[in-house]
């Protein structure tokens, strides 16, 4: 691939743009407003500066990768892309609108991929111009650090689309797990019930936030406890994924924890809103319960 379109300039879209540019490909980055794509590019510039200061990138490499990221106001320039990756909010109707619009400019052999964390690929493929060239490409946060990509073919995805997508993931230096198109795929199917259960444990007063996280950090050797990780991922995103698991399977074991719903209703979405299970207003995160 030489040119990749990235739709959505949030945490995931920024991370994806960074690693794609570092792998030598041109990135066309878009969001609802070009100012958001430009702001994301500034943030990626800061990440490059940090990598240069730690001697992980040379200044020339950083400048070249930075120049390869081009914020765009609409999808028209993505007609030149061999791959378009959607990394928008985890709402099916939003993603479907994007596939319909981006589908209008998608080149005849180009692939349309979704970074969805849980929504069925086969179902969303019906909003793309060619389901044979539609696929799931699930990155993990923070994208530049996490070594895994899940590749999820839908029912109609062509073999050639799978092999080209795998070659792209390889070119980014990531490990691949290819999964069937089942709700939550592999990693989120396992992770989100754990996070949701941690919120039940908190809601039932079994332990406080600090101890739930300490238990998993030390007792399981996880880099972050489940509530810290929920704040990191975003509580709205966590709830969206749990709802997909619950609604698509109808299995009551996936019912969202009431406290998780309450936090999202309060706008306490984790790190990005300044408060979730922890308060991020000071120098160090402080547990709120």
Residues near ligand 3HC (CB under 6 A): 47, 117, 140-142, 144-146, 188, 191, 223-224, 229, 233, 237
Point out the catalytic residue in the list 17, 30, 117, 128: 117
Give the dihedral of Cα atoms 144, 183, 244, 213; nearest 10 deg: -50
What is the closest distance, in whole angstroms, from the C-beta atom of residue 229 to ligand 3HC in the complex?
Answer: 6
Select 82 or 273, whichever has its Cβ closest to ligand 3HC. Answer: 273
What is the closest distance, in whole angstroms, from the C-beta atom of residue 73 to ligand 3HC in the complex?
Answer: 26
Prior bond to 173 cis, omega within 30?
no
Task: Establish whether 222 is a catalytic residue.
Answer: no
Task: Establish whether 138 is a catalytic residue.
Answer: yes
Sheet holding 69-71, edge to edge: 69-71, 26-30, 3-7, 83-86, 111-114, 134-139, 148-153, 175-178
Select 179 or 188, whichever has its Cβ closest to ligand 3HC. Answer: 188
Select 108 or 284, whichever has its Cβ closest to ligand 3HC. Answer: 284
For residue 101, what are its two tokens? 């619009």
The bridge status of strand 286-287 relative to strand 278-279 is antiparallel
Select 17 or 165, whichever has its Cβ closest to ligand 3HC. Answer: 17
Point out the catalytic residue in the list 17, 30, 138, 228: 138
Select 78 or 199, whichever has its Cβ closest to ligand 3HC. Answer: 199
Residue 56 burial class via C-beta count within 10 angstroms: exposed 0-12, middle 13-18, buried 19 and up: exposed
CA proximity to 62, closest of 43, 77, 74, 49: 49
For residue 47, what are its two tokens? 């990440």
Q: CB of 154 within 8 A of CB of 207?
A: no
Task: Establish whether 117 is a catalytic residue.
Answer: yes
Query: What CA–CA distance (Å, rounded) separates 181 from 164?
Result: 18
For residue 25, what are its two tokens? 């490909």
Q: Residue with the closest Cβ to ligand 3HC?
A: 117
What is the closest distance, in whole angstroms, from the C-beta atom of residue 248 to ligand 3HC in the complex?
Answer: 16
Report in angstroms the alpha-carbon separations of 19 from 15, 25, 66, 102, 145: 6, 9, 11, 22, 10
What is the closest distance, in whole angstroms, from the C-beta atom of residue 105 to ligand 3HC in the complex?
Answer: 26
What is the closest distance, in whole angstroms, from the C-beta atom of residue 238 to ligand 3HC in the complex?
Answer: 7
Q: Which positions are catalytic?
A: 117, 138, 150, 188
């Amino acid at each position: 691939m030489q040119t990749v379109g990235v739709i959505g300039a949030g945490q995931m879209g920024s991370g994806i743009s960074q690693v794609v540019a570092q792998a030598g490909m041109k990135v066309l980055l878009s969001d609802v407003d070009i100012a958001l794509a430009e702001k994301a590019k500034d943030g990626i510039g800061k990440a490059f500066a940090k990598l240069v200061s730690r001697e992980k990138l040379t200044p020339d490499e950083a400048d070249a990768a930075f120049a390869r990221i081009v914020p765009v106001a609409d999808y028209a320039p993505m007609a030149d892309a061999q791959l378009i990756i959607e990394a928008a909010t985890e709402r099916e109707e939003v993603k479907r609108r994007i596939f319909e619009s981006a589908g209008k400019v998608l080149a005849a052999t180009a692939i349309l991929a979704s970074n969805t964390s849980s929504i069925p690929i086969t179902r969303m493929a019906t909003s793309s111009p060619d389901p044979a060239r539609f696929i799931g490409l699930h990155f993990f946060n923070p994208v530049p650090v996490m070594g895994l990509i899940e590749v999820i073919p839908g029912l109609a995805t062509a073999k050639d689309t799978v092999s080209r997508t795998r070659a792209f993931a390889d070119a980014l230096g990531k490990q691949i797990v290819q999964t069937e198109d089942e709700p939550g795929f592999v990693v989120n199917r396992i992770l989100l019930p754990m996070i949701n259960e941690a919120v039940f444990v908190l809601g039932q007063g079994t332990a406080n936030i600090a101890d739930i996280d300490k238990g998993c950090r030390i007792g399981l050797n996880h880099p972050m406890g489940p509530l810290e990780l929920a704040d990191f991922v975003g509580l709205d995103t966590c709830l969206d994924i749990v709802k997909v698991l619950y609604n698509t399977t109808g299995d009551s074991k996936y019912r969202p924890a009431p406290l998780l719903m309450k936090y999202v209703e309060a706008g306490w979405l984790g790190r990005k809103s300044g408060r979730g299970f922890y308060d991020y207003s000071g120098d160090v995160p402080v547990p709120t319960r």
